[in-house]
Chain A
Amino acid sequence: MVYPEPLQRVWRALIGRHEVVVFTLVLVISAFLSLRTDTFFTWSNLSNISRAFSWIAIAAFGESMVIIIGGIDLSVGAVMALAGLISALCLQHGFPEPLAVIAGILTGGLVGWVNGTMVGRVRLPPFIVTLGTMSITRGIAFGLTGGWPVRNLPQGFRALGQYDLRVGFMSLPLPVIFMLGLAFLTGLLMSKTVLGSYIYTLASSERALLVSGVNVMQIKALVYTLCGVLTATGGVLMTARLGVAAPTAALGYELDIIAAAVIGGTSLSGGEGSILGVLLGAAVMQMLRTGLVLLGFSAYWQTATLGTMILAFILLDHWRRQS
């Protein structure tokens, strides 16, 4: 079938935009699960899914920034756990709630800064550095609690993750509102500011930035720190939702977070990706997880499915680059 020229151009532009591809995927999965199950297309299920992927998405915003500058952060899962734990411990020691939240987020920022400094200033490979800090962070989480979870968190703190804001007939979970707010802010940072432009340029033209007098080391340190801060925000929200801070929390989440970024169109070679794409990528991932459960598959298959998805999207990215 031959379309008129302008239509073909629009079609090509739409196909060319990764966000459109992922959004289509969201629609297809939704349609499929709505037809196959009775429980998928209910407000409470959709609200639960969005709440569940909100902290993954928030961490993935940071992760995608790191990947765009040509790096990788494997410590995100452990940072989520430690940040939640630090907030919980602060609350246990009688700190006011805002202070406890800030302490948790600052912890994440600190780990991110260490990552960024090692990668930017000392020029160590990010994979090795973040593998090390992953281990250290998780170890501290275990060490601080002796392996036991911290319970009995105050109601005010738990409300951060559990409270639903009623807007008309809808009830929007608070973490989702945080996610949308942070998506807007990071999206603005990446698409409108000079820093965003440097971040996109860094992977392919680091030397050009260097000779132009841009402090590349500082940018790397800042991006990893921002990733730490965002991940820790996700971790605190997750802890508030669960009402318990366990050192084993968010185990293996680094895979989910990297998957959300990659499915959302962030190229592992750096230089490409968008916050909207990452948001949709996180949605696809959570829908897959929930969908597999609703369809009656064992939870063990989830990881395999996720891994396959990551590979498929990396392949897609590879083909697109080649063409």
Chain B
Amino acid sequence: MKPLLRAVNLSKTFGTLPAVQQVSLEVYPGEVVGLAGASGSGKSALFMLLAGLYVPTGGDIYFEGRRLQCPFRARALGIEIIHQTPDLAERLDVTSNIFLGNEIGWPLVSKWLKVPNRRRMDKEAARILAQLDVHFDSLHEKVTNLSSEQRQLIAIARAMIRPAKLIIIDDPTLLLSYSFQQKLLSLIQAWQSQGTAVIFSSNNLDHLLAVTDRIIVLRQGRQIAEYRTDEAGREEIVAAMVGTTDRQQLTPIIWALDSYYRAREQAEKLRQSQLLLERDLASQDTLKRQLIDRLAEQINALDSANAALQDAQRRLLTELEQERKHLAREIHDQVIQDLLSVNYRLEELETGEVVTPALGAELADIRNTIRVLVDDLRHICGNLRPPTIDSLGLGAALQSYTHDWANRTGISVTLDLDANLGRLPEAIELSIFRIVQEGLSNVRKHARASTVQIGLRHTSPRTLMISIADDGQGLPDGFDLSTLSAKGHYGLLGISERVALLGGRLKLQNQAGGGLLIQAEIQHPRVAQSGGG
């Protein structure tokens, strides 16, 4: 497939300040390319070049194989641009701004002598704004009087009035509230499914991870790295963005951070202290330098050990699951079948002529014991490896498990599953199943609850929120996760480890009305939506 847009060695210098240096990129139809970088990394300047508004100092831009003469009118080529801050015509109203440059009217032949058809434009504008879930009191209101968010939404609506080949989006989320940010993300996915290419920059790494196919990292105007989103780790991207090459050094910190913003802040601080340290070092005597070097080596060794430990634990869990699967199969296919065949032979004996009534009663008793044994073994198998998870998926496995659990414990369970859950990778499905299993086991042992609510919902297309809420006694005062293992309680600890290994976030809190709420947010790679769920 030929690239839709190709930029070759693109550079832009303002005076002596290089804003973009030798950036080359290709975007294919139906592909979403993310652009990550700290502020001042040259993202916006690159966007202005790709939008045809800046003339590059060096390099070329090709669109559909044709070399473009800069500056160019992007919209005439089928390129729509959504800027960080919207450029609107202040004296015009909402509708006129949405249709600016694309007015509907008569005669059709002349673009400039056209008399705009206000009614049709208003109708069309209302339709597009409804798609964005935004409402204006009047479409005839001048945009000067509107809020920044409303103005940004008008700029987004402008990009939607006709099908585009490429949509360039320069982090408009700064001006948007959470719900509209999510709306924009789902719009990007809709555009992608229609075959439109999208270049999307955002300061929020979660947004990039949620919708892009590839992520290009810029730093100080240079193209530092490129990742396939499904294979990229958050820490890798952040490391590229902030310029720390030593991944081992960054990993444990990133692990602890629950958002990109904090990661960036911390990394900046680290870099600054590193700089200060280096400056200090230059003026220090050799002995001190040696000491610090040794300290740094030890820290590095510790970091490696830490990373190795995490790897080992991940492997251990996988092997444990494999082992459980194997064991469950052994018991099911071998032991249970053998027991059933013994039962059958006993039944034959029981109906035989040589059996006395006393022996018959004894045999019936033995057969009853075997049945109970088989039931118990089946239950153990189910715990070792949920039987439905491989064939019918997580949703069915959870339904079956919670139903059995409720019958067994007498605690009522409500299960709220996302309609678009689909099939996730095996490891993730199993982990989620285990998290719910551990959570329920925790409820049974400690909570003294009468009802449990389990929820499994997508908070973004690639983020899943697992919540387990009970109406029991909640966490005791002064609860500390790290002291649990000393007391031999591994339930909540197991959940927290599983969530950490999946790169997710865990929140434990007492609810206002009593009871514990466990929330785990887990990212998962893009998966095909199966029709059956």
Q: How far is the CB of B139 from chain A (nearest CB, A)?
A: 16
Are A212's CB and B91's CB within 8 A?
Answer: no
* Given contact pairs A193-B115, A194-B111, A195-B112, A208 touches B74 in the complex (Cβ within 8 A): no
Q: B367 near A: Cβ within 8 Å?
A: no
Are A214's CB and B101's CB within 8 A?
Answer: yes
Are A197's CB and B88's CB within 8 A?
Answer: no
Are A211's CB and B91's CB within 8 A?
Answer: no
Are A194's CB and B112's CB within 8 A?
Answer: yes
* Given contact pairs A194-B105, A197-B92, A205-B90, A212 touches B112 in the complex (Cβ within 8 A): no
Contacts of A45 in B (CB 8 A): none
Q: A316 near B: Cβ within 8 Å?
A: no
Q: A224 near B: Cβ within 8 Å?
A: no
Q: A207 near B: Cβ within 8 Å?
A: yes
Q: B494 near A: Cβ within 8 Å?
A: no
A interface footprint on B113-126 (CB within 8 Å = 1, 0 otherwise): 11110000000000
Are B91's CB and A215's CB within 8 A?
Answer: no
Q: B75 near A: Cβ within 8 Å?
A: yes
Closest chain A residue to B116, Cβ basis: A194
A interface footprint on B53-92 (CB within 8 Å = 1, 0 otherwise): 1000000000000000000011110000101000111111
Q: How far is the CB of B117 from chain A (nearest CB, A)?
A: 11
Partner of A213, one of B75, B113, B116: B75
Contacts of B81 in A (CB 8 A): 211
Contacts of A145 in B (CB 8 A): none
**When chains A and B are docked, how far (Å) is the Cα of A297 from the Cα of B114?**
50
Interface residues of A in 17-56 (CB under 8 A from B): none
Are A201's CB and B91's CB within 8 A?
Answer: yes
Are A207's CB and B96's CB within 8 A?
Answer: no
Interface residues of B in 157-201 (CB under 8 A from A): 158
Q: B435 near A: Cβ within 8 Å?
A: no
Contacts of B76 in A (CB 8 A): 213
Contacts of A201 in B (CB 8 A): 89, 91-92, 100
* Given contact pairs A211-B83, A213-B74, A193 touches B113 in the complex (Cβ within 8 A): yes
From A197, A205, A208, residue with most partner B Cβ within 10 Å: A208
Q: A253 near B: Cβ within 8 Å?
A: no
**When chains A and B are docked, how far (Å) is the Cα of A201 from the Cα of B89?**
7
Please classify the interface of chain B as helix (H, G, I), strand (E, B), loop, or mixed, using the class held by over half of its residues.
loop
Partner of B96, one of A197, A211, A222: A197
**When chains A and B are docked, how far (Å) is the Cα of A225 from the Cα of B73?**
22
Are B111's CB and A271's CB within 8 A?
Answer: no
Q: A178 near B: Cβ within 8 Å?
A: no
* Given contact pairs A195-B112, A212-B100, A205 touches B91 in the complex (Cβ within 8 A): yes
Q: How far is the CB of A181 from chain B (nearest CB, A)?
A: 17
Contacts of B92 in A (CB 8 A): 197, 201, 205
**When chains A and B are docked, how far (Å) is the Cα of A192 from the Cα of B113?**
9
Interface residues of A in 178-219 (CB under 8 A from B): 189, 192-195, 197-198, 200-201, 204-205, 207-215, 219
**Interface residue total, chain A, C-beta cutoff 8 A:** 23
**When chains A and B are docked, how far (Å) is the Cα of A208 from the Cα of B113?**
20
Q: B103 near A: Cβ within 8 Å?
A: yes
Q: B328 near A: Cβ within 8 Å?
A: no
* Given contact pairs A201-B89, A201-B91, A209 touches B101 in the complex (Cβ within 8 A): yes
Contacts of A195 in B (CB 8 A): 112-113
* Given contact pairs A194-B103, A197-B96, A211 touches B87 in the complex (Cβ within 8 A): yes
Contacts of B116 in A (CB 8 A): 194, 197
* Given contact pairs A201-B92, A271-B91, A211 touches B53 in the complex (Cβ within 8 A): yes
Q: B237 near A: Cβ within 8 Å?
A: no
Closest chain A residue to B83, Cβ basis: A211
Q: How far is the CB of A321 from chain B (nearest CB, A)?
A: 13
Partner of A194, one of B73, B83, B91, B113: B113
Number of A-B contacts (CB under 8 A): 70
Contacts of B102 in A (CB 8 A): 212-213
Q: How far is the CB of B108 from chain A (nearest CB, A)?
A: 12
Q: B51 near A: Cβ within 8 Å?
A: yes
**When chains A and B are docked, how far (Å) is the Cα of A193 from the Cα of B117?**
10
**When chains A and B are docked, how far (Å) is the Cα of A1 from the Cα of B121?**
45
**When chains A and B are docked, how far (Å) is the Cα of A299 from the Cα of B101?**
50
Are A207's CB and B87's CB within 8 A?
Answer: yes
Are B73's CB and A213's CB within 8 A?
Answer: yes
**When chains A and B are docked, how far (Å) is the Cα of A204 from the Cα of B100?**
14
Q: How far is the CB of B3 from chain A (nearest CB, A)?
A: 22
Q: How far is the CB of B164 from chain A (nearest CB, A)?
A: 11
B interface footprint on A278-311 (CB within 8 Å = 1, 0 otherwise): 0000000000000000000000000000000000
**When chains A and B are docked, how far (Å) is the Cα of A215 from the Cα of B112?**
11
**When chains A and B are docked, how far (Å) is the Cα of A260 from the Cα of B73?**
37
**When chains A and B are docked, how far (Å) is the Cα of A167 from the Cα of B135?**
56
Contacts of B87 in A (CB 8 A): 205, 207-208, 210-211
Contacts of B101 in A (CB 8 A): 209, 212-214
Contacts of A204 in B (CB 8 A): 89-91
Q: How far is the CB of A200 from chain B (nearest CB, A)?
A: 7
Contacts of A214 in B (CB 8 A): 100-101
**When chains A and B are docked, how far (Å) is the Cα of A214 from the Cα of B112?**
10
**When chains A and B are docked, how far (Å) is the Cα of A204 from the Cα of B143?**
13
A interface footprint on B92-106 (CB within 8 Å = 1, 0 otherwise): 100011001111010
**When chains A and B are docked, how far (Å) is the Cα of A211 from the Cα of B85?**
12
Are B115's CB and A198's CB within 8 A?
Answer: no
Contacts of A194 in B (CB 8 A): 103, 105, 111-116
**When chains A and B are docked, how far (Å) is the Cα of A209 from the Cα of B115?**
18
Q: How far is the CB of B115 from chain A (nearest CB, A)?
A: 5
Q: How far is the CB of A266 from chain B (nearest CB, A)?
A: 15
Q: How far is the CB of B335 from chain A (nearest CB, A)?
A: 72
Closest chain A residue to B112, Cβ basis: A195
**When chains A and B are docked, how far (Å) is the Cα of A205 from the Cα of B91?**
8
**When chains A and B are docked, how far (Å) is the Cα of A213 from the Cα of B74?**
7
Interface residues of A in 235-280 (CB under 8 A from B): 271
Q: How far is the CB of B512 from chain A (nearest CB, A)?
A: 48
Q: How far is the CB of B105 from chain A (nearest CB, A)?
A: 7
Are A210's CB and B53's CB within 8 A?
Answer: yes
20 contacts between A and B (CB under 8 A): A193-B112, A193-B114, A193-B115, A195-B112, A200-B91, A204-B90, A205-B87, A205-B92, A208-B89, A211-B51, A211-B81, A211-B83, A212-B89, A212-B102, A212-B158, A213-B74, A213-B101, A213-B102, A214-B100, A215-B73
Identify the 9 closest CB pairs spanning chains A and B, nearest first: A213-B75, A212-B101, A195-B112, A205-B89, A212-B100, A208-B89, A213-B101, A208-B87, A201-B89
Additional 18 contacts, C-beta under 8 A, given A213-B74, A213-B76, A214-B100: A194-B115, A197-B92, A197-B103, A198-B112, A201-B89, A201-B91, A205-B88, A205-B89, A205-B91, A207-B87, A208-B90, A209-B100, A210-B53, A212-B75, A212-B101, A212-B102, A214-B101, A222-B112
